[in-house]
């Protein structure tokens, strides 16, 4: 994309990863990896790219949170979003389509947020959880780039979290919306870094903090 106008207007500034990051894995569930249900595109590739990022956060004892879209069996909590996308109604608590993919299965002690809207923050206790954990920055992985990732990034930034979208760890059912929304988020709402670059940056940061903590005068 031609980003000359954005550069001239000083969009796309970097905000950095912060001192206390959490990994937020949004809606990597079976239904969004299956092109016959709600998935397709590059979402399976994004799942694979997320595995080493998730491993790093776990080994570093950094907070990890997952989200699922979950509706009541009787549809009592569905709304306009389900009018636009009726198949979302199938994502009930016990439905296979609503379960987090085996490759990224949550471990004991890792919070799983149920949500009924695109943003991980809307109508959930996620913000309160992050406040309790002292989180100041969020690394986003998941799907879809143009939907739940974008909505979550905007809400997180609106609450003054530093947001980094792991660019190869997010996916969409079509590449056009994926690329356009990555670009737009990078200009307005979040930093963009590949998963490996995030791991490298956090490793350097944590190593520097450890060196400083261990130094004496």
| Domains in the chain: boundaries | 19-208
Partners of 24 in the β-ladder: 65, 140
Give the per-residue pLDDT at 209: 60
- String of DSSP letters for 53-71: HHHHHHHTT--EEEEEE-B
Give the per-residue pLDDT at 1: 62
Distance in angstroms (rounded) separating the CA atoms of residues 138 and 133: 12
Distance in angstroms (rounded) separating the CA atoms of residues 32 and 44: 9
**Is it true that domain 19-208 has CATH number 3.40.50.920?**
no
Model confidence over 203-216: pLDDT tens digits?
998 776 654 444 33
In this structure, how many other beta carbons lie within 10 angstroms of the beta carbon of residue 23?
Answer: 26
What is the percent of the chain where pLDDT is above 90?
Answer: 93
| Maximum C-alpha span of the chain | 65
Model confidence over 94-121: pLDDT tens digits?
999 999 999 999 999 999 999 999 999 9
Model confidence over 160-169: pLDDT tens digits?
999 999 999 9
Model confidence over 64-101: pLDDT tens digits?
999 999 999 999 999 999 999 999 999 999 999 999 99
Model confidence over 17-49: pLDDT tens digits?
999 999 999 999 999 999 999 999 999 999 999
Distance in angstroms (rounded) separating the CA atoms of residues 55 and 63: 12
Give the per-residue pLDDT at 111: 98
Q: Between β-strands 111-115 and 64-69, what pairing exists: parallel, antiparallel or unpaired? A: parallel
If you search the block for the tokens 């530093």, which residue do you land on? Answer: 162
Give the per-residue pLDDT at 79: 97
Residue 134, class by beta-carbon neighbours within 10 Å (0-12 exposed, 13-18 middle, 19+ buried)?
exposed
Q: Which residues neighbour 162 within 8 Å (Cβ) at sequence distance 6 or greater? A: 15, 16, 17, 18, 136, 137, 138, 191
Q: Which residues neighbour 44 within 8 Å (Cβ) at sequence distance 6 or greater? A: 33, 171
- Answering whether pTM is above 0.85, one says yes
Give the per-residue pLDDT at 214: 41
Give the per-residue pLDDT at 149: 98
Catalytic sites, residue numbers: 148
Give the per-residue pLDDT at 212: 41
Give the per-residue pLDDT at 172: 98
Give the per-residue pLDDT at 206: 78
């Amino acid at each position: 994309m031609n980003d000359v106008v954005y550069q001239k207007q000083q969009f796309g500034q970097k905000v950095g990863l912060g001192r206390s990051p959490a990994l937020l894995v949004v809606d990597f569930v079976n239904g969004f990896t299956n092109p016959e249900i709600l998935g397709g595109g590059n979402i399976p590739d994004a799942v694979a790219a997320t595995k080493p990022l998730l491993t790093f956060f776990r080994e570093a004892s950094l907070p990890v949170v997952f989200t699922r879209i979950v509706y009541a069996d009787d549809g009592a909590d569905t709304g306009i979003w389900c009018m636009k996308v009726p198949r979302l109604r199938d994502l009930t608590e016990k439905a296979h389509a609503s379960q987090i993919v085996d490759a990224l299965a949550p471990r004991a002690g890792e919070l799983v947020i149920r949500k009924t809207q695109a943003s991980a923050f809307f109508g959930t206790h996620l913000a309160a959880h992050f406040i309790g954990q002292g989180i100041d920055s969020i690394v986003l992985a998941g799907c879809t780039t143009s939907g739940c990732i974008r909505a979550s990034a905007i809400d997180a930034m609106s609450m003054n979290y530093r947001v980094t979208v792991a660019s190869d760890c997010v996916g969409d059912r079509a590449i056009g919306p994926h690329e356009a929304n990555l670009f737009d988020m990078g200009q307005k709402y979040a930093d963009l870094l590949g998963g490996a670059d995030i791991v490298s940056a956090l490793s350097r940061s944590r190593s520097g903090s450890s060196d400083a903590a261990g130094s004496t005068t």
